[in-house]
Structure 1
Amino acid sequence: MFSYLMPFSYSYYRKFGWEVIQSFKEFNLCPNDLRHGATLREYVYTRGKLKWHELNPVYEKYAQSFTGMLTRERWWWESYYSFYKKGEVVTVSNADGIQGYLVYDIHQESKTMTIHEIIHLNEEARLSMLDFLANHDSVIDRVILRTPVQDEMSFLLRNPAVSQQIKPGFMGRIMDVRSCLSKYPFIKTGKSFDFIMKITDPFLSWNDGIIRVLVNEDGEVYIMDMTDTDKELDLSCDIGAFTAILFGYQNPLFLKETGRIQASDMLLHFFNEAIPRKIPYAVDYF
C-alpha cells in the first residue's frame, strides 16, 4: 500500500513516483547555546546500556504526535538500532517514571557530540535534557541534533541566534491508491464529500486512471472506477504529489499554485478540513 525509504538521491527516486514526505531541522551549536534559563523540577539522569523495554513505551508515546514514525519491535532495538546508533543512552525521570531519553556519542578528536535521538514526553523533560547537554561544555565544543521541522526549540534558548538547517528526510510513495484511500484516517467533519480525481502513475498501471471518491460523515471512504471520462475533475495530479498531500507534508493550495496539481476550490477546502494535521517526522533511517 505504501513504500518508504531514505534515498541516496532524491531526484533519482522522484523519477519513479517517490516524493519527499518529511523534513527536519539540524542544529549545529555550542553546548552553552543550549542554556535556557527556565526553572525546572528535579529530574534524575540515568546513564546505561540500551534497555529497549524501558525506552520503547516512551518512544511510542512520543511517536503518536507525528506521521511516519516507525513501529519498533524488539529485534529493531536490539540489532539494527544498536548497530547504527552507537553511544551512550541517558534517561531523564521524575516521580512519574521516565519522561525522555537521549542517545548520543562523542567524537573525541573533533570534540563533537552527535545526538542520535532526543525523545521527550513534555517540554520540561526536553529542557532538562538540554541542561544535561549544556553541562558537557568542558569536554565538547559542538553539539549536533535534529528536531521536527516545525519545532521551535531555538525560541526556548537564551540566545536563539543558533545555526539551524532544514533538510529533507524520508521519501514515500503510494503503491495502491484505492487501498490507501479506503483506509485513510480522514477527520470526521460531520458532512460527506464527493469528488472525482485522476492520478497519473506511469509505473503502476493500477493507480493510473480516474476514480470517484465518497467520504461520508464518519470519515468512511467509498471508491468507484469511472468509465465516463467526460466528467469534470476535482483533482488531477501525479502519484508523488498525491502522496505528499495525504501524508500531510505539503499544503494542496501550495501545490496548486506551483502547478503540481489541478484542483477545485471545494476540494482544497475539504482537504484542509479532513486531512490530519500531525507533523510528518521520523528519527530512524534505513
Structure 2
Amino acid sequence: MHLRPLPEEHRETYREFLDYAFRPENGPDWPDERLPDPEGYRPRGFYDAPRDAPVGDLDAASLRAVCAFYDFTARVRGEWHPLPGVSAVASPPEARRRGHIAAMLDDLLAEFRDTGRYLSALWPFKYAFYRRFGWATANNYAKTTVPPDELAAVAADPDGEFVRLDADDWARVEGVYAAAATADLAVNRSEGWIRHRLFRGWDDDPFVYGWERGGDLRGYVVYDVTGDWESRTLTVAELVAVDADARAQLLRFLRDHDSQVDEVVLSSEHASTRLIDDLTDPRAATVEIKPGPMVRIVDVSAALEAVSLPADAVCDLVLAVEDDRCDWNDGPFGLAVADGEASVEPVDDDIAPDATVEIGALSQLLVGARSVEALARTEHLAVADGRAADALDAVFSERDLYLREGF
C-alpha cells in the first residue's frame, strides 16, 4: 500500500469517503454541487496497489483511505515557514481498524519531509487519536455567547460606515487581515483561500460586512444567522479589526441585530480576548475556552535549523527525541544555539542526554505554545538538571499563537 496524488478520475470516490466520514446524516445521495478546491489544496489517496504502479493503472476500487493538505505558509517565531495543514482524513467503514490511516499518515509525513515541509498542523476530530501520531495542541480559542443588547457596553458611537463585501473585495479583506493577524501561526492567505473559504460556506454562504472610515476598510465580520422567528442565533465565524476602534464599531454592528436575534456567538476568537470583562453584566455572557489546532515537527533537524530563535539564547546540549512514527527524528541530537540560529546533528546513542522530549512536546516548544517549565511537569519532557532547563527555556521562549483557519 502507498500514498499517491489523487487522479481526477478518482475524485468521486474520494468525495464519497469524505461525505460518509463527515456528513453521514445526509444519506447516500450526495448533492451534485461541490465547492471548488481552494488554492493550494492537495488531495491524496492511499491505495492497495504496488508502490511503483503507474497512475494510469490505479483503480478507484483500490482506495483504502484518503487525505489532503493545504499548502499553507504561516508565521513561526516572527517569520514565514511552510506549514501544510492536514485535512480530509477518512476511510470507508469497510476498511477501518486495519491500520490504513496510520500507514497513510506515515507516508504523508515522509512526503512532507522529502519536499522540505518540516512542520505541519491539523484540526483533530479527537485529540487523543492524533496525539498518538505526534501532533500536539498549539493554541486554544475562546467562544463567547452573549445577548446582542449586552454589546452596548463595548460598542462605539456611530462613525464611518458599514459596507457589504463580496469575493471581489478579497484584496481589501486581506489587507485588514494582514495588519491584524500578527500572532504566530497566522497563515499568509492567498486570493483563492479568501474567495473560496471566507466568502463561501459548506451549506450556505455567510454574510461579510466591513467597517470603513473615509473609504479605508478597517475591519470586517463574517457571520451567518440560524433559527426561526421564535429564536435566532447570529454566529460570527471571524471578526478582524486593525485596532480597538474598528473592533468596537464591528461590535456595534452586531449589537444592532438585537431586534432580529436572541444571541450573538463569537465562535472563534483569540483565547486572550476578554470581552466579558467590559460588559455591564458579565454574567449575561458565557465564555468557553476550547482547544484549537495541533502542530507537529516533521523533520527535527530541518525545523530547528530553519526557525529563528532568540538572539541572546545560548545552548549546547544533547536532546533525545522520542518519535515512534518518524525514525529520522527518533534518537539523540546535539543542539547548539547561538546568535538566533541552531545547529542540529545526530549523536551516538551512548551519550547521556541533557533532556529527553517527545515529538509533540518538542513541537510545542518550537512554536512557543508551552514553556519548558510547564512541559517538564508532564511525562513528555525530562530535563537532567537546572542548567539544561535554563538553556532550553532561553531557546524555546513562549510566543503569542493564534491559528484561526479552519481546514
Distance 1:113 1:169 in 2: 22
| Residue type at the aligned position of 2:303 | C
Question: Which of the numbers 298, 301, 304 marks the counterpart of 1:181?
Answer: 304
Question: Which of the numbers 375, 379, 386 marks the counterpart of 1:259?
Answer: 379
What are the Cα deviations for residues 210-232 of structure 1, in whole angstroms up to 9, with x where unaligned?
Answer: 1111111x20111222126233x
The offset of 1:37, in angstroms, is 5.4
The offset of 1:271, in angstroms, is 4.2
Contact 2:318 2:332 in 1 (8 A): yes
2:149 match: secondary structure: helix
The offset of 1:39, in angstroms, is 5.7
Contact 1:32 1:137 in 2 (8 A): yes
- Work out whether 1:55 is the aligned partner of 2:139: no
2:199 match: secondary structure: helix
Aligned equivalent of 2:255: 134
Distance 1:140 1:153 in 2: 19
Contact 1:199 1:209 in 2 (8 A): yes
Query: CA, structure 1 residues 194+200, in 2 after alignment: closer, same or farther (shift >3 Å)?
Result: same
The offset of 1:79, in angstroms, is 2.1
The offset of 1:184, in angstroms, is 1.4
- Work out whether 1:281 is the aligned partner of 2:402: yes
Larger radius of gyration: 2
| Residue type at the aligned position of 1:215 | V
Aligned equivalent of 1:67: 184
1:281 match: secondary structure: coil
Contact 1:103 1:116 in 2 (8 A): yes
Distance 1:137 1:214 in 2: 58
Query: CA, structure 1 residues 152+204, in 2 after alignment: closer, same or farther (shift >3 Å)?
Result: same
1:187 match: secondary structure: coil
Question: Which of the numbers 199, 203, 210 marks the counterpart of 2:325?
Answer: 203
- Work out whether 1:87 is the aligned partner of 2:226: no
Distance 2:120 2:154 in 1: 43
The offset of 1:121, in angstroms, is 1.1
1:114 match: secondary structure: strand
Contact 1:27 1:164 in 2 (8 A): yes
Contact 2:315 2:336 in 1 (8 A): yes
Aligned equivalent of 1:2: 119
Question: Which of the numbers 186, 194, 219 marks the counterpart of 2:340?
Answer: 219
Contact 2:320 2:357 in 1 (8 A): yes
Query: CA, structure 1 residues 80+42, in 2 after alignment: closer, same or farther (shift >3 Å)?
Result: closer
What are the Cα deviations for residues 136-162 of structure 1, in whole angstroms up to 9, with x where unaligned?
Answer: 100000111121112222223222332
Query: CA, structure 1 residues 271+90, in 2 after alignment: closer, same or farther (shift >3 Å)?
Result: farther
Contact 1:40 1:124 in 2 (8 A): no
Aligned equivalent of 2:281: 159
Contact 1:210 1:229 in 2 (8 A): no
Question: Which of the numbers 2, 9, 15 marks the counterpart of 2:132?
Answer: 15
Distance 1:96 1:187 in 2: 40
1:229 match: secondary structure: coil
Q: Which is further off, 91-100 or 167-176?
A: 91-100
User: CA RMSD of the aligned region, Å?
Assistant: 2.0
Residue segments in structure 1 that go unaligned for 5+ positions in a row: none
Distance 1:15 1:194 in 2: 30
Identity of aligned residues (%): 26
1:194 match: secondary structure: strand
Query: CA, structure 1 residues 265+153, in 2 after alignment: closer, same or farther (shift >3 Å)?
Result: farther
What are the Cα deviations for residues 57-104 of structure 1, in whole angstroms up to 9, with x where unaligned?
Answer: 1111222x2122222111112223333373211111224822111011
| Residue type at the aligned position of 1:118 | L
Aligned equivalent of 1:106: 225
